[in-house]
Copies of this chain bind each other. A is one copy, B any other.
């Protein structure tokens, strides 16, 4: 993606000035326009340039979000939802200025229904906060994207992470939500039944819509019982192909693996040095199993046999929490370990997802591309889903390097789509991947535009995100 590919949004200076005045009156100290705060509320996690909003509204209720959206709608001014800003594709940038709605103060846990394994929360609750709160109930919320993101942001980007292979993504784990739509009305998309055939699936339409259709102000989430036992371990393989075959057989056999992470040789090298552990420098799988005491032992043993049949092993595993933590430590430290491969560099994390039969081929082709382009870029993947991340180490101030990494990411996206995959498994489109949506979805993009135009005719909800620039206006 060249920076020139970012979808541009025209600034409406007059409208912005009017809204700044209105919100200062309405929210007083909770409306901020200082440069530092504005820049903190723009994109800050990658080389995508920071495009700050004109003001930040720290809302505390759905009604306040409605008031902000109504003011912005009246004056045709962009509204951008903000959680804690950990998104990776420019989701929170304000290319046409406008108002950032900071939801981090809406962080109350409203209800935990233990018998129904669900809870109702405000969008600013983070996943760590929720799991801390749930600790004594025997329940937990499984989705873990790495960062301690807000659950509203995770829903908006359809986030997932290491244990999606067992528990699904935000798509499967949001039971219903409340969103403030572009006209300022609040809509609740469902009740608490585990399933429903009643009408269009507005929950799934809003999950993953990245704030472009509405701002999520409440969520009802599915919870899981904390497993009785957990086993976990690490298993080296001679090649990516061998590791990948073991993953496929594990899934085919119906082993309910909770995590199955692929780490490539370069990443293992970095981890070995960083964590000072005796790992091999070949592709490895890190695994975790959840279930009964007997179940997690059986799962681990069965996987060990699959690994051996594929030339892998030894599979070192344990059910003892401290030992498991030690075995997994390197995986948890992967990001920090990676940075040591090129001290001073910044890591650009990108993700794609392919059918698991194509995973080894896609990772291998990507490794070849990295070598050919002279990049340093380790790979870790959520192998059970065919989802993997490349962390390209770069100097973001070197325009040539930025351009090189952009070419690399573009080729990666095109490669994944050509293998019947997607240009993003869990990061979202934002600004960074808007240029690839047409290649992936074809005429589906026009249907997305029709929906966007119907629900947000003024294009005030997080404009410039998801939908690529188009010569033709939506009809």
Interface residues, chain A, with chain B CB atoms under 8 Å away: 113-118, 138-139, 157-160, 164, 168-169, 171-172, 181, 185-202, 204-205, 207-209, 213, 224-225, 227-228, 248, 251-254, 256, 290-292, 294-295, 298, 302, 353-357, 385-387, 416-417, 420-429, 433, 436-437, 440-448, 450-455, 466-467
Q: For residue A436, which residues in chain B have a CB less than 8 angstroms away from its CB?
A: 198
Shortest Cβ gap from A340 to chain B (Å): 29
Q: Which of B160, B197, B202, B252 contacts A225 (CB 8 A)?
A: B252
Q: Would you call A420 and B193 a contact (CB within 8 A)?
A: yes
8 smallest beta-carbon distances between A and B, as pairs: A454-B454, A204-B204, A196-B422, A115-B357, A193-B353, A225-B254, A116-B355, A192-B420
Q: Would you call B444 and A188 a contact (CB within 8 A)?
A: yes
Q: Would you call A159 and B191 a contact (CB within 8 A)?
A: no
Q: Would you call A191 and B425 a contact (CB within 8 A)?
A: no
Q: Would you call B199 and A445 a contact (CB within 8 A)?
A: yes
Name which residue of chain B comes closest to A356, CB basis.
B116
Q: For residue A194, which residues in chain B have a CB less than 8 angstroms away from its CB?
A: 353, 355-356, 385-387
Number of this chain's copies in the complex: 2
Shortest Cβ gap from A166 to chain B (Å): 10
Name which residue of chain B comes closest to A251, CB basis.
B117
Most central of A171, A194, A205 by chain B CB within 10 Å: A194
Q: Would you call A191 and B454 a contact (CB within 8 A)?
A: no
A299 vs B278: C-alpha distance in the bound complex, in angstroms? 38
Q: For residue A448, which residues in chain B have a CB less than 8 angstroms away from its CB?
A: 199-200, 202
A252-B115, A442-B187, A450-B454 known; A354+B193 contact, CB < 8 A:
yes
A202-B447, A252-B138, A454-B451 known; A196+B116 contact, CB < 8 A:
no
Q: Would you call B466 and A455 a contact (CB within 8 A)?
A: no
Q: Which of B188, B192, B355 contacts A193 (CB 8 A)?
A: B355
Shortest Cβ gap from A194 to chain B (Å): 5
Name which residue of chain B comes closest to A244, CB basis.
B115
Q: For residue A443, which residues in chain B have a CB less than 8 angstroms away from its CB?
A: 185-187
Q: Would you call B208 and A205 a contact (CB within 8 A)?
A: no
Shortest Cβ gap from A83 to chain B (Å): 15
Name which residue of chain B comes closest to A169, CB basis.
B195
Q: For residue A225, which residues in chain B have a CB less than 8 angstroms away from its CB?
A: 251-254
Q: Would you call A198 and B254 a contact (CB within 8 A)?
A: no
A433 vs B199: C-alpha distance in the bound complex, in angstroms? 10
13 A-B pairs with C-beta separation under 8 A: A187-B443, A188-B442, A192-B355, A193-B420, A194-B387, A195-B385, A196-B353, A197-B208, A197-B428, A202-B448, A205-B451, A450-B454, A453-B454
